[in-house]
Structure 1
Amino acid sequence: MTLFSRKRAGLGVLGVAVVIASLTPAGGLAAGREIYLDSRASAERRVEDLLRRMTLEEKIGQMAQIRVGKLRGDCNNVNGPLVDSCLKAVLADAHVGSILSGGGDAPLDNTPRAWAEMNNAIQRYALENNRLKIPIIYGSDGVHGHNNVISATMFPHQIGLGATWDPGLQEKIGVSASKALRATGVFWNFAPVSDIARDTRWGRYYETYSEDPFLSGQLAAANVRGQQARVDDTAQLTATAKHFAGYSAPANGHDRAAAQVPIRQLQDLVLPSFQAQFDAGVKTVMINSGSLNGVPVHASKYMLQTQLRDRMGFKGVAVSDWQDMKYLVDRHKVAPDYKTAIAMSVNAGVDMAMEPSNAAEFTSLLLANVRDGSVSRGRIDQAVRRVLKLKFDLGLFEKPYVDPAKADGNVVNADRSLARQAAAEGTVLLKNDGVLPLSSAAKKIVVTGETADDVRRQLGGWTVEWQGVPDDSPLPPTATVLTGVREAVPGASVVHAPTQAAAVAEADGADAVVVVLGEKPGAEGPADTENPVLTAEQQAWVDAVQATGKPVVVVLLTARPQVLGAAADANALVAGWLPGSEGGRAIADVLFGAVNPGGKLPISWPKALGDPTLTYDQLPGANTSAGAKYDPLYAFGHGLSYTSFTTSGTTVSVDRRDGVVKFTVANTGARAGTAVVPVYVRQPASPVLTPDARLVGFTRVELAAGQSKQVEVSFKLSQLALTVGDVDGDGRREVARGGYEAVVGAEKATFTVR
């Protein structure tokens, strides 16, 4: 028997209402005996009431998260309809509290309505087959929208959003993604990525916002606020701060490779972006799959208790990443068997295991650990208390279901104008020798390059499936650069030249040639590269077109800042990143001047292949040889405009806790535009090595031609804290007293911390 198929799926609206009514007491009838079912009681009271009613086996089940593939087909991660026996094994027998979709796990019909019906069916089975009526929570990696759903709007990946320097935009995107996910019954989103971009070889570089912890933290916190906002009548969604912590610093550049991160780097660079999200109220955190200084993070009590809980104040649910407890045995080799690995991880502070394939094994081994004293009952209660509070806080006990009839309307092509705005704001004009903007009166434009009309490359990894849109999948509705250019100049002859030879031939008589370059899509380890450089073929393509003498605009749709080689000599360079569903239209908006580019690099663009870890905040050294100093092709914060801006009159004032920097921004050009102005602090002398500049704030200022505005940017003096002490210090952080400089553009203003 199957519970879900293409023809029959879950509950109708009336059925949903009936079940919900049966779970929620009318008036106060059940409140006296079952406080946990009384929505008027506090979440804390409800948790304690429910916890005391649960058996040990039921508690342990709440600590397991299992892949949806275990509920369908042959119960072994094969796509197919939900099957009663599979559901029973996971939800009834093992009491599992959470289900997830890995990259590519979707219903047979990958439509929003089918997602909603599938999740309703899973939820219904869970509620009808556990005596305490505890709802499951369904999780998914919605890292750039509801990206597992073919018809969903794919937003730019995070590296492109980082280039917007626009927290308000990130909040709107968070709201949009959350609305789409919740409409299909997904109430746990494994996003945003909080790691910072420190090595271009790393396959997840494009999933980060920036190399800078402050910028990353501000954008991620805004995204969290958007995702967790209460904006409609479904249960709430929880975002996830991931991957705590040090995940993006593998020593050899390969995903999940061992990381060596000194305490100063950990506390001053890695953790601040997470702290911003904790302060924003993020409810869950996903733990780093890798090791840090010789200890797997998901087995580190120092990281998961001392840092995460005691120092940073996080109070929510800590979940492992994919199968990480088992990896303690067969990859990290710090545990002799799975039972021991489970005890190590749970005792360190992991509340829920993304197992994801064997519920019975995990729950039975954790039960054995409790019975033999390897894990205390108190630790189990602590973890389950957090899981239950999450479910109460989100409203899942009152609203466990969604209305499938509303799913398509909230997902299919939703908020595409917002996606277009995001892609345009994140487009960075790296170089312009006077060829941009292109004229809307152009007669002939040649569009060429491997990525000019390639949806898969433009959308990148984590789209429909883990490694990107598979070859046998329908393509998500996407405007490529070719599409965007054609729509921007409908009266021109826009020629698609799919090969280098065709591009050279068609350049004759063209007003300009747009060459769109990029990478094959990928994610995690398969996207690692030892050569983060444009391929020789792509460089030769640019060379050949340049030789025609026509104006050449290179558009880079890449997952990282690749070394450009010969492509750097093009007349204009535009970084479009992985811009999503509306990326082609957004880039055309910039190319033809409908949008004045305002994007700024959230990372440093390397000049040579030997610079994969080049960042603007590198520490000073004694070496004075060539290449020892910060000297990228394009610096952090770089980005050109079709107008010009100046800053002047910089002043700074401080009190015991805060600083305020005031200055005037003027548009000295002939076009309206948006100025992104970063504020840095320098410390001429410090007790330990300090970067030449640290970002403490920024602002976006929209100005008409000739207009000026006085603005102010505030910062907390605590942002200036450093980990002090000698090499063997105790990790203490403090704000050093003495003189500092606030830097805005070419100006600086001094202040003193007393």
Structure 2
Amino acid sequence: MKKTLLTVPLLAFSLFSVAQKQADAVIDQKVKSLLSKMTLEEKVGQMAQITMDVITNGKDRYSSDEPVALNQQRLEHALVKYKVGSVLNTANNRARTREVWHQIINKIQETGKGRLNIPVLYGIDAVHGTTYTADATMFPQQIGQAATRNRSLVYKGAEITAYETRASAIPWNFSPVLDLAPDPRFPRQWETFGEDPYLITELGLQMIKGFEGNNVADPYRVASCLKHFVGYQVSVSGKDRTPAYIPDHVLRDYHLPPFKAAIEAGAHSIMINSGIINGVPVHANYQLLTKLLREELGFKGLIVTDWGDIENLHTRDRVAKDHKEAIMLAINAGIDMSMIAYDYERFCDNLIALVKEGKVKETRINDAVGHILTLKYKLGLFEKAVYDLKQYPKFGSKEFEQAAYQTAAESITLLKNTNNLLPLKKGTKLLVTGPNANSMRTLNGGWTYSWQGEKVEEFAGKYNTILEALTQKAGKENVAFVEGVSYKMDGKYYEEFENGIEKAVKAAQDADAIVLCLGENSYTESPGNLSDLYMSDLQTELALKLGATGKPIILVLNEGRPRLISKFEPKMAGILQAYLPGNFGGDALADILFGEVNPSGKLPYNYPRYPNSLLGYNHKPSENRTVMEGVYNYAAEYNPQYEFGYGLSYTTFKFENLKLSAEKIKANQELTVSVEVSNTGSREGKEVVELYLSDLYATLTPDSRRLRGFEKINLKPGEKQTITFKLNQKDFSFTHLDNRSVVEPGEFKVKIGLLSKNFFVE
């Protein structure tokens, strides 16, 4: 009986694998047959992607009239004359109802199928919920999901997003972001799972599984798109789309693992890094796109550019003398589809000319179009491109909202709790203040109902801000609100104005405690670039003046990246990092503040203390030097405000009996590590058990430690659980300068909590 139980899953997997190979073979034949019937113009059109504004009514192709409506003449010019095969985005950068989406996309499919009945592939950035659909369920942004350390919640969020995206008639999602994001200066850190390759890999896989399921033709699933291959968020300047310098062995050890795992899991498409690595724009990098991505990693899916990035090879990066040469460089490097956005005629005409001139081989065109058609077949678009609205009764349901709330609740991270100030007692009189206290926009961040998130208030009025949630929880009589400082748009970024600080200080006199809500307004990409990582001056002034009142302050951080708080952190009695928790972040935060939810989030990055000390948790030993009193001041060495993996609870946990299966193993053997975890406090709580591994000596300076395993568990008071991890050759290895993955014999250290044990690899 035991043998039968063990072999049934293996047999099922084997049968599924065989069936998948057979289905892929059928699709391959269909693609080859269709390609043989296509003209060069039809093939090139498949490689073009335009934004919706191009085909709607409006004064030009860069904006649309409201209410939005397709322009039949423009539609036919793009989809019939130029055979454009893909559309993305939403008109005027704003969310639409499902009914409008269905009306628009049905018309696009009807017009664009052409003589060969090839469906149009529609794509959207649904990065923490179905971004551009009214009433969709909005989850915490990826950085908050990383803080949950909960694989099942990440999977569930992606599954719901896939459901609601398909309910909007859209089958292709430009998500997840698998970028390594160790730099808090970078404006897209919040779109990632943080600064650790293992954490990104594990949660990225869950998100892909949630999006794609076992079959992307399923009407409740979408094709995922991995972003942004590769090395995007480590620019020297810390600003978006600026040059990075990444040695090959660093690229392979830190940036590549999440993409490699995602490709092996069967992800169907990938978007390319908009930046420049070692002097070469990635969109023109044959070594990265063809030799590495296609040949070494074996990626068989669709490669799409980011917005306008082939044009950027000429206009910004200056590696092509004109647009035609830019197209030649990108397509020959390995690009399949150009997210042109607007000037599709120039792309199509030039690419056709390049093929006729022999500067781009038609075999390269066939290869690219084959990948595009394959995805369209796998999505089932040839059979049915749009499903009936009635097939999606759970859209925006209470069930989906509960999943978003739960993810927000498990993401919020308690960083400080002096004298157990939290949870608050019922009847506590609160002053709620700060620019983020009464804003749905700041709770959600960018990519929410619009690109920069500036339209959130228009669509999210039915949800609770932090102030509204606290007022409901504590009662109107116990909550006073003074904003203190606010945000305004100055044309480039958002700064504070209206000095209401003195009003807030005065109101504090009547409060038992202050809930101070600071952080950032919404942004993404280049509009989020900054030159000062400290919390803004007026917010800092507000915090310091409130601190001088002597009232206990609970600082709520609502931000896309860790803005430095060291100037006023000592004045704060409690600190919670809420990240960008989505529409249910206010409710989740109120429940945590009053103890109805026990916080369990863990930081997905180091929270830095100073702007010149931005080291990650896995820094090198030379960056963690011992203070030599009287000789030199090492105060700006490795000293984060709070470290990766840090997060408090309202209960206490004890780690004990760390055990290894052996003290010596061979490189190809597996090491079992176990630890007992018990809840020694008075209330139920969730704890994240993280395993770190250190290679103590190596021919390339090793990291201080690397995350190699994590599990989240729930324990009642007095309950104990044994957690087991498996380590293998992959965990012991690193990439050498010749790009070989090696395991060097020597001593390693395992650390879980405050416990550690050493072992040897022979």
- Correspondence list, 1:314-329, <5 A: 314-329=299-314
Please give the secondary structure, in 1, of the residue aligned with 2:317. coil
1:374 aligns with 2:359: yes
Find the aligned partners of 2:480 and 2:636 in 1 and give their Cα distance: 45
The equivalent residue for 2:653 is 645
The equivalent residue for 2:73 is 85
The equivalent residue for 1:608 is 610
One-letter amino acid matched to 2:331: V
One-letter amino acid matched to 1:118: I
The equivalent residue for 1:217 is 201
Find the aligned partners of 1:282 and 1:101 in 2 and give their Cα distance: 21
1:160 aligns with 2:144: yes
Instruction: State which of 384, 397, 400 in structure 1 corresponds to 2:369.
Output: 384
Please say if residues 562 and 607 of structure 2, whose CA atoms lie closer than 8 Å, have aligned partners that are also in contact: yes
Please give the secondary structure, in 2, of the residue aligned with 1:534. coil
The equivalent residue for 2:210 is 226
The equivalent residue for 1:289 is 274
Find the aligned partners of 2:251 and 2:288 in 1 and give their Cα distance: 10
The equivalent residue for 1:518 is 519
The equivalent residue for 2:400 is 415
C-alpha deviation, 1:231, in angstroms: 9.4
C-alpha deviation, 1:314, in angstroms: 1.8
One-letter amino acid matched to 2:656: S
C-alpha deviation, 1:280, in angstroms: 2.4
- Correspondence list, 1:716-727, <5 A: 716-725=728-737
Find the aligned partners of 1:86 and 1:720 in 2 and give their Cα distance: 57
Paired-residue identity, %: 36
- Correspondence list, 1:198-209, <5 A: 198-209=182-193
C-alpha deviation, 1:505, in angstroms: 2.7
Please say if residues 534 and 564 of structure 1, whose CA atoms lie closer than 8 Å, have aligned partners that are also in contact: yes
1:676 aligns with 2:688: yes
1:44 aligns with 2:28: yes
C-alpha deviation, 1:506, in angstroms: 2.8
- Correspondence list, 1:330-729, <5 A: 330-405=315-390, 410-411=395-396, 415-470=400-455, 473-475=458-460, 477-490=462-475, 493-499=478-484, 500-569=501-570, 570-611=572-613, 613-621=614-622, 626-627=634-635, 629-653=637-661, 656=668, 658-725=670-737
Find the aligned partners of 1:521 and 1:607 in 2 and give their Cα distance: 23
Q: 1:197/1:40 Cα in 2 relative to 1: closer, same or farther (>3 Å)? A: closer
Please say if residues 112 and 408 of structure 1, whose CA atoms lie closer than 8 Å, have aligned partners that are also in contact: no
Please say if residues 461 and 521 of structure 1, whose CA atoms lie closer than 8 Å, have aligned partners that are also in contact: yes
One-letter amino acid matched to 1:72: T
Please give the secondary structure, in 1, of the residue aligned with 2:34. helix
The equivalent residue for 2:39 is 55
Q: 1:523/1:102 Cα in 2 relative to 1: closer, same or farther (>3 Å)? A: farther
Find the aligned partners of 2:187 and 2:520 in 1 and give their Cα distance: 12
One-letter amino acid matched to 2:156: K
The equivalent residue for 2:759 is 751
Please say if residues 162 and 220 of structure 2, whose CA atoms lie closer than 8 Å, have aligned partners that are also in contact: no
One-letter amino acid matched to 2:185: R
Find the aligned partners of 1:719 and 1:240 in 2 and give their Cα distance: 27
Please say if residues 456 and 521 of structure 1, whose CA atoms lie closer than 8 Å, have aligned partners that are also in contact: yes
1:190 aligns with 2:174: yes
Please say if residues 426 and 576 of structure 1, whose CA atoms lie closer than 8 Å, have aligned partners that are also in contact: yes
Find the aligned partners of 2:331 and 2:197 in 1 and give their Cα distance: 29
Find the aligned partners of 1:135 and 1:169 in 2 and give their Cα distance: 33
Instruction: State which of 157, 164, 170 in structure 1 corresponds to 2:154.
Output: 170
Question: Deviations 1:290-347 (Å, cap 9, x if unpaired)?
Answer: 1100000011111112221222222211100011111101111001111111111111
Question: Deviations 1:77-104 (Å, cap 9, x if unpaired)?
Answer: 3223101111111111111111000695
One-letter amino acid matched to 1:597: P
Instruction: State which of 104, 107, 117 in structure 2 corresponds to 1:118.
Output: 104
C-alpha deviation, 1:151, in angstroms: 2.4
Find the aligned partners of 1:600 and 1:639 in 2 and give their Cα distance: 5
Q: Runs of 5+ in structure 2 lacking a partner?
A: 1-21, 485-500, 627-631
The number of residues matched between the two structures is: 708
Please say if residues 216 and 379 of structure 2, whose CA atoms lie closer than 8 Å, have aligned partners that are also in contact: no
- Correspondence list, 1:300-319, <5 A: 300-319=285-304
The equivalent residue for 1:17 is none
C-alpha deviation, 1:478, in angstroms: 2.8
Find the aligned partners of 1:279 and 1:163 in 2 and give their Cα distance: 25
C-alpha deviation, 1:141, in angstroms: 0.8
Higher mean C-alpha deviation, range 597-606 or range 359-368:
359-368
Please say if residues 117 and 404 of structure 1, whose CA atoms lie closer than 8 Å, have aligned partners that are also in contact: no
Find the aligned partners of 2:603 and 2:648 in 1 and give their Cα distance: 10
Please say if residues 194 and 241 of structure 1, whose CA atoms lie closer than 8 Å, have aligned partners that are also in contact: yes
C-alpha deviation, 1:435, in angstroms: 4.3
Higher mean C-alpha deviation, range 658-667 or range 635-644:
658-667
Q: Quote the RMSD (CA, aligned, Å).
A: 2.2
The equivalent residue for 2:487 is none
C-alpha deviation, 1:439, in angstroms: 3.4
Q: 1:102/1:306 Cα in 2 relative to 1: closer, same or farther (>3 Å)? A: farther
The equivalent residue for 1:10 is none
Q: 1:527/1:323 Cα in 2 relative to 1: closer, same or farther (>3 Å)? A: same
The equivalent residue for 1:269 is 254
Find the aligned partners of 1:48 and 1:159 in 2 and give their Cα distance: 42
Find the aligned partners of 1:412 and 1:711 in 2 and give their Cα distance: 35
The equivalent residue for 2:227 is 242
One-letter amino acid matched to 1:320: T
Please give the secondary structure, in 1, of the residue aligned with 2:714. strand
Question: Deviations 1:528-557 (Å, cap 9, x if unpaired)?
Answer: 111111122212222222233222101000
Please give the secondary structure, in 2, of the residue aligned with 1:410. coil
Question: Deviations 1:631-664 (Å, cap 9, x if unpaired)?
Answer: 2010111111111112122223467254332111
Please give the secondary structure, in 2, of the residue aligned with 1:699. strand
Find the aligned partners of 1:635 and 1:137 in 2 and give their Cα distance: 43
The equivalent residue for 2:495 is none
Find the aligned partners of 1:476 and 1:365 in 2 and give their Cα distance: 47
Find the aligned partners of 1:352 and 1:318 in 2 and give their Cα distance: 6
Please say if residues 423 and 592 of structure 2, whose CA atoms lie closer than 8 Å, have aligned partners that are also in contact: no
Q: 1:290/1:476 Cα in 2 relative to 1: closer, same or farther (>3 Å)? A: farther
Please say if residues 679 and 716 of structure 2, whose CA atoms lie closer than 8 Å, have aligned partners that are also in contact: yes
Find the aligned partners of 1:89 and 1:688 in 2 and give their Cα distance: 57
One-letter amino acid matched to 1:595: V
Please say if residues 94 and 455 of structure 2, whose CA atoms lie closer than 8 Å, have aligned partners that are also in contact: no
Find the aligned partners of 2:123 and 2:435 in 1 and give their Cα distance: 35
Find the aligned partners of 1:716 and 1:365 in 2 and give their Cα distance: 51
Find the aligned partners of 1:193 and 1:277 in 2 and give their Cα distance: 11
Find the aligned partners of 1:105 and 1:131 in 2 and give their Cα distance: 32
Question: Deviations 1:2-28 (Å, cap 9, x if unpaired)?
Answer: xxxxxxxxxxxxxxxxxxxxxxxxxxx
Please give the secondary structure, in 2, of the residue aligned with 1:163. helix
Q: 1:104/1:600 Cα in 2 relative to 1: closer, same or farther (>3 Å)? A: farther
Please say if residues 258 and 294 of structure 1, whose CA atoms lie closer than 8 Å, have aligned partners that are also in contact: yes
C-alpha deviation, 1:281, in angstroms: 1.8
Please say if residues 119 and 184 of structure 1, whose CA atoms lie closer than 8 Å, have aligned partners that are also in contact: no
Please say if residues 112 and 411 of structure 1, whose CA atoms lie closer than 8 Å, have aligned partners that are also in contact: no
Please give the secondary structure, in 1, of the residue aligned with 2:341. coil
Find the aligned partners of 2:532 and 2:398 in 1 and give their Cα distance: 36
Find the aligned partners of 1:753 and 1:385 in 2 and give their Cα distance: 46
C-alpha deviation, 1:420, in angstroms: 1.1
The equivalent residue for 1:68 is 52
C-alpha deviation, 1:406, in angstroms: 5.3
Q: 1:103/1:212 Cα in 2 relative to 1: closer, same or farther (>3 Å)? A: farther
Find the aligned partners of 1:315 and 1:433 in 2 and give their Cα distance: 53
Please give the secondary structure, in 2, of the residue aligned with 1:676. strand
One-letter amino acid matched to 1:684: L
Find the aligned partners of 1:139 and 1:517 in 2 and give their Cα distance: 34
Find the aligned partners of 1:126 and 1:411 in 2 and give their Cα distance: 30
Please say if residues 513 and 550 of structure 1, whose CA atoms lie closer than 8 Å, have aligned partners that are also in contact: yes
Please say if residues 443 and 492 of structure 1, whose CA atoms lie closer than 8 Å, have aligned partners that are also in contact: no
